[in-house]
Amino acid sequence: MAEDIQAQISKLMQGAEKAEGDNNWNAAIALLKQAEEILLNKNLKQDEGNVFYRLARNHHLAGDSAKTKEEVSENYKLAIAFYKKALNIFEELKIAEKKFAISGFIDLLTYIFGFDVGNETSLLESAKNHFKDAKIMYQQNGNLHDSFKMEIMETRTLTLLIGELTARFDQDVDYKKIIAEFDALVLDMIEQLAKKPKLSDYYLHRFLTCMGYCFHYIGTYVPNDIINIEQQLTDILNRNQKIINIIDSTRSYDTYFESKFYVCLIHSSFNLILGAYYAKTQFEIKKLYKSARNWHKQAEELLPKNQFNTSNSTFYILKFSISISMIILGYSSSDFKHVVQILINAINSMTLFCPKPMAAHMIVASCIAFSVGALDESSIKIQRMELAKRILEIIDFGEKEIPMFADPNYKQYNFMKSLKLCVANAVLGDLVEDKDEQSKYLQKATELFKKVTDIAQEGTINNQAFFMYFYYFSLIGVILAKNSKEINEQRKYYEMTINLLEHTLAMPFDFHRYDSLFLLGKTYYDLGKLLTDEGILKKSYLAYTKAIEFCKKRGFYFLVGSGYVQLAQLEDRLGNFLSAAENYQNAISSFDQALLVFTFTNLGKKIEKTKKYLSAWKLIEIAKSYHAQEDHANARLNYDQASAILQKIREYRFESTFYNAWSELENAEELSKASNHQKAAKAYDSSKTLFQEAVDNFNKYLKKRLPPSDEERISNLIKVARIRDQYCMARQHIETARVESIRGNHILSAELYNKAGFMFENMCEVYKIKREKKELSAIYFLCKAWEHMAKAENEQKPSLYATASNLFEKASGIFTKSRMKKLSLGNSLYCSALESGSLFDKTSDLDEKIKYYKKIKMNLRESAKNYQLGGFVPDAQWALATSTVFDGIWQLIQVDTEVDFTKKSQYLSMAKKYLDTALKIFEEAGYEQKKHEITKYLEMIDTEKAILTSALDVIEKPAISESSIGIVAPSCPIEISSSLSIGEMQKTDMEAESEQNWFKRIHHLYLFVPGGVCIYDHPFESEAMDDESVSASLVSAGLEGISMMIQEVTKKETKVKIVEQEDMTILLEHGKEVTAALITEENLETLKTKMKQLINELEEAFQTELETFDGDITVFSKAEKFVQKIFVESPVTA
């Protein structure tokens, strides 16, 4: 009877084992339940214990793959119940190894599902010790197979313990010790796996999860100063590759779909993380990301056969992360929306993900991917908002479903959670249109920013997750600064951002280094603009210079060019226009260097357009420099050339009218300074019309979908064009006022000066930079001075001349250029002389006249001195000659009051002498009209005719007093070129690097004739991929596989040009008779061009052999020299 029962149990156990091997745990449970019923009350304790043990394990596995939360919970509870039943039996039977093993499983499962919250660390330590004890006892009994299983479970609990301790950031833990313990276990198990018996899919999968989990825990949460994290992760990657090799070379593992699926996944994630954190060059990043994508594709083929919830969730979260990473590198992702939806479904399945701490980590990981997308300003607004909202949803889900995600004891999760919530709220606050919603999000972001910053300042966390914080949090700082209403708040956030970026740049690796340098430059620039502080702007210059040097060393010439454009914009703001022009030229030279690689690509054409645009801006900066020097002819010439260039570039044609308007403005300024007032007024009116057209063009362009930076720039150009419009109108009033003044219409002239002054006063309010604000303020005071001079000429009131004098003096105090200071002061003194002349004419008291005579004399002499110092020599001579004329007139006035004929004669002689001197001065200065006037006075003295004149007739204002010299349209710092996208330039540099190093990417060339016959092949030496990895690609399929493929693709009417196969790409080029197949790592334009060249030369050289081909391929042996010439002899030629 007992033997029959044993036979039945044995049969059922064998059936259960087979079901387990097929991963059909419910079938195994059904068979084991039958065995349980048979053994009921049969007193076969050991058999009963074994059945309970197997039932527990199968319920455990069924829980791992159940598709509802209730089923997971029910299976885990049943597993623990059966483990306890088995434990009781084996304790009774004193089978210690099974007692330890089962105790370990009970503790582990209790921890995994969170049945004993608060005792997590104790449960894991207990489980680890139990598994270790079981391992030792199995070893002692000679049961190496079960000993190996227990070692895997010991490693699994140790891995989870590392995760638990790092997530809590327990500072009392000796991380170095436990990681060394993990390393020793893994190395031992790999050695055993290579030479020992095969494991079940379940145990092999559990071993792989140890590798996967530990990689993430160490890479993300272990303090950086404990061990060399990069080396540790690289070691784990290499060990995982060894396991892959073992699986691939062991036939018995062919059906281990769970393990094969998971090993591909974790290898994919390892490559992705190493690429993101530790890659030293753009090519390394791209290579690792592509490797991640290719391993993920291999996993995707096994997806339908995978049952474990942890693996499924990992698959979709990883797929999304790879998509985001590849998009950042410039690769398209047509299924991006589909991937996002799949990811949401995967996150919803996190309720089924066990262990829970790893589920919490996966939520953090998915939020990181969403954060990167949400903060990417090159993405469209709707997509960024959608990603930010997903972060809020995921975190809300995590807090509800995963206990430790809301537990403050898990410091790492809380830190990362707060960081990601801050990202989401900041992005939504920046982008939503509803003001109430915006305020709500920004307030929350502000609170979270402070919370995370406070944690950072404690200095307790210093791991990879924390380092990521610095860069991404700096982006949030910029958003909060931009949305702050108070200058002090903006300043605070900019300064915090700068501090964060400086921490980023102090990292021990190049993670986001060039991004951080560029962002640091921009943040200093924005802060400098905010505070109008040139010292801060110089720090921006330094940051950009460092970014340029960093990129130059790595050959990232597109990024170098972008950096020079930033420097040019900065120099423009500082008013250093020639330096700005030089930096635009430096940018062009950098692009020229980069374009050596892009001879054959469409990208090359795009960069050529960018170069032309920068050439236009170089001319604009030169024009601005000439404008500032009042060399309006040369300024006009450069603006004309810039406008013509822009007109030919379709993407920038809308800017052409703006600089055409500038050219006409320069024409008006030149006419004004030549005192051609009527033509100047017309030119200002024409320029005004062109600026209005420019505004219309800008508004049309704004209707297109543009990046935020372009929208801001165009909006600023509209502001500038409207200011120029006002400037032209004001200058038109001034020129018309001049014309009316010459005509003697002083009242109308005064009104026009008043209007112009009012317009300049309004323009002052627009400008924030002190330099330009001062310029406009000075012009305003000049307009008011001219207004009062015009009124004074009409009314002859001394007070009006006095007011004009004070206004000129104010202008003198504001002008920054010494020349203009002296000119305005000279005008002020001249007006004081006119004031005294008016008072001189009004009084008949000789003593009063003597007093005013002295003042006139002094003011005219001082005026002449200031004109001379300012470089206005003819005007200085005018003032000096006028003073001398008035000396002569004063002598003639003395003649009228003198009765002594001798003295009269002396006065007349002195008068004549003064007038002769004045005549010489006027003659030297070229004032012909004044020469005739003085000559007439001298003739009247000689004929003893009475000379009746007034002081104001003599003290005629000089032309310089109403000149527009020194009055130029002020530069406008918001009038800048279009910036180049740093992200776009990065992608371009990556492509450039690949094109430049094409010879490192190729592996094998095949030449075929119709029918798929290979007539020639040539292997290349590649630095980028070893033979082992190449053999994993299509190349390993051999010539036959490629030949069959060629036969298929050549039958089609539309010839296939590219075939993607695992980590290899096959480029195909079809001639009339020959098809070339090149095995390469990348699809490069350089390679396509070389293949076309090869086909053309071969078909020409072997025309007869191809037409008469009879199967003898030896006739094509000379193809070698063509391949050598095109692909081997000059590899550095693009």
| pLDDT higher than 60, residue 333 | no
Cβ(813)–Cβ(794) below 8 Å? no
Q: What is the CATH number of the domain that holds 909?
A: 1.25.40
Please give the torsion angle defined by the CA atoms of residues 736, 742, 748 and 749, in that order, rounded to the nearest 10 degrees: 60
Tokens of 955: 């003290």
Please give the torsion angle defined by the CA atoms of residues 646, 648, 649 and 652, in that order, rounded to the nearest 10 degrees: 40
Give the percent of the chain with pLDDT over 70.
88
Residue 105 CB contacts under 8 Å (≥ 6 apart), including other chains: 56, 57, 60, 79, 83, 127, 153
| pLDDT higher than 60, residue 599 | no
pLDDT digits (tens, 9 = 90+) for 392-419: 988 888 888 887 778 888 888 888 888 8
What is the rounded average pLDDT of the residues 1000-1014? 84
Whether residue 1020 is found in the same domain as residue 947: no
Report the distance separating Cα 339 and Cα 366, nearest Å: 12
Pick the closest to residue 658 from 610, 714, 704 (CA basis).
Answer: 714
Helix axes 201-221, 229-249, angle to 10 degrees: 160
Whether residue 804 is found in the same domain as residue 949: yes
Q: Give the HSE-up count for residue 377: Cα atoms under 13 Å, Cβ half-sphere.
A: 18
Report the distance separating Cα 316 and Cα 339, nearest Å: 8
pLDDT digits (tens, 9 = 90+) for 774-822: 888 888 999 999 999 999 888 888 999 999 999 999 999 988 888 888 9
Read off the DSSP letter of residue 998: G
| pLDDT higher than 90, residue 315 | no
Report the distance separating Cα 16 and Cα 25, nearest Å: 8
Q: State the pLDDT at residue 1131.
A: 54
Cβ(113)–Cβ(76) below 8 Å? yes
Q: State the pLDDT at residue 532.
A: 84
Residue matched to tokens 């020599």: 873
What is the rounded average pLDDT of the residues 690-696? 94
Mean pLDDT of the chain: 84
Pick the closest to residue 481 from 490, 471, 472 (CA basis).
Answer: 490
| pLDDT higher than 80, residue 662 | yes
Kindly state whether residue 65 falls inside one of the protein's structural domains.
no
Kindly state whether residue 869 falls inside one of the protein's structural domains.
yes
Burial (0-12, 13-18, 19+ Cβ within 10 Å), 623: buried
| pLDDT higher than 70, residue 317 | yes
Q: What is the CATH number of the domain that holds 1028?
A: 3.30.450.60
Residue 99 CB contacts under 8 Å (≥ 6 apart), including other chains: 87, 90, 91
What is the rounded average pLDDT of the residues 44-64? 89
Where a domain ends, among 254, 280, 314?
A: 254
pLDDT digits (tens, 9 = 90+) for 525-567: 999 989 989 899 999 999 999 999 988 887 788 889 999 999 9
Kindly state whether residue 812 falls inside one of the protein's structural domains.
yes
Whether residue 1060 is found in the same domain as residue 922: no
Read off the DSSP letter of residue 562: H
What is the rounded average pLDDT of the residues 94-104? 94
What is the rounded average pLDDT of the residues 1121-1125? 88
Q: State the pLDDT at residue 1025.
A: 43
Tokens of 561: 């060019």
Contacts 24+ apart (CB under 8 A), 895-904: 897/846
54-66 burial: b if 16+ Cβ within 10 Å, else e: bbbbbbbbbbbbb
Contacts 24+ apart (CB under 8 A), 677-686: 677/735, 677/736, 677/738, 677/739, 677/742, 678/735, 678/739, 680/731, 680/735, 681/732, 681/735, 681/736, 681/739, 684/728, 684/729, 684/731, 684/732, 684/735, 685/728, 685/732
Whether residue 147 is found in the same domain as residue 244: yes
Report the distance separating Cα 710 and Cα 977, nearest Å: 10
Residue 485 CB contacts under 8 Å (≥ 6 apart), including other chains: none
Residue 476 CB contacts under 8 Å (≥ 6 apart), including other chains: 375, 422, 423, 426, 445, 449
Read off the DSSP letter of residue 485: S
Q: Across-strand partners of 1067?
A: 1058, 1078
Burial (0-12, 13-18, 19+ Cβ within 10 Å), 15: middle
Residue 681: CB atoms within 10 Å? 22
Kindly state whether residue 561 falls inside one of the protein's structural domains.
no
First to last CA, the chain: 85
The number of residues in the chain equals: 1134
Amino acid 680 reads A
Report the distance separating Cα 203 and Cα 213, nearest Å: 15
Query: Which of 227-231, 981-985, 1006-1010, 1083-1087 tops mean pLDDT?
Result: 1006-1010
Read off the DSSP letter of residue 172: T
Report the distance separating Cα 1119 and Cα 1098, nearest Å: 7
Cβ(71)–Cβ(63) below 8 Å? yes
Whether residue 953 is found in the same domain as residue 1053: no
Query: Using CA of residue 487, residue 493, residue 496, residue 497, what is the dihedral sign?
Result: negative
Report the distance separating Cα 853 and Cα 517, nearest Å: 68
pLDDT digits (tens, 9 = 90+) for 741-784: 889 899 999 999 999 989 988 888 776 666 677 888 888 999 99
Kindly state whether residue 569 falls inside one of the protein's structural domains.
no
Where a domain ends, among 254, 271, 306?
A: 254
486-521 burial: b if 16+ Cβ within 10 Å, else e: eeeebeebbebbbbbbebbbebeebbbbbbbbbbbb
Helix, strand, coil % (nearest 5) of the chain?
A: 80, 5, 20
Radius of gyration of the chain (CA): 43
Q: Across-strand partners of 1005?
A: 1018, 1078
pTM: 0.76
3-state secondary structure 590-618: HHHHHHCCCCCCHHHHHHHHHHHHHHHHH
| pLDDT higher than 80, residue 972 | no
Whether residue 131 is found in the same domain as residue 235: yes
| pLDDT higher than 50, residue 1024 | no
Residue 781: CB atoms within 10 Å? 23
Whether residue 849 is found in the same domain as residue 954: yes
Please give the torsion angle defined by the CA atoms of residues 273, 278, 279 and 281, in that order, rounded to the nearest 10 degrees: 150
Kindly state whether residue 225 falls inside one of the protein's structural domains.
yes
Tokens of 629: 């020097």
| pLDDT higher than 90, residue 312 | no
Residue 1060: CB atoms within 10 Å? 12
Whether residue 1040 is found in the same domain as residue 952: no
CA distances from 393 to 320, 397, 479, 504 (A): 16, 6, 21, 29
Kindly state whether residue 985 falls inside one of the protein's structural domains.
no
Whether residue 777 is found in the same domain as residue 920: yes
Amino acid 665 reads L
Least-confidence region, from 920-934, 961-975, 1045-1059: 1045-1059
What is the rounded average pLDDT of the residues 1080-1099? 86
Report the distance separating Cα 516 and Cα 208, nearest Å: 36
The full DSSP string for 826-863 is HHHHHHHHHHHHHHHHH---HHHHHHHHHHHHHHHHHH
Domain count for the chain, please give it: 3
Report the distance separating Cα 358 and Cα 464, nearest Å: 17
Tokens of 110: 């209790």
pLDDT digits (tens, 9 = 90+) for 455-472: 777 766 677 777 767 778
Where a domain ends, among 219, 254, 289?
A: 254
Report the distance separating Cα 337 and Cα 319, nearest Å: 12
pLDDT digits (tens, 9 = 90+) for 504-532: 787 766 667 888 899 999 999 999 989 98
H helical segments located in 674-745: 677-702, 708-742
Q: State the pLDDT at residue 1134.
A: 39
For 1049, the domain range is 997-1128
Whether residue 955 is found in the same domain as residue 1005: no
Cβ(57)–Cβ(66) below 8 Å? no
Whether residue 769 is found in the same domain as residue 876: yes
Kindly state whether residue 863 falls inside one of the protein's structural domains.
yes
Whether residue 924 is found in the same domain as residue 1019: no
590-591-597 Cα angle (round to 5): 110
What is the rounded average pLDDT of the residues 938-966? 75
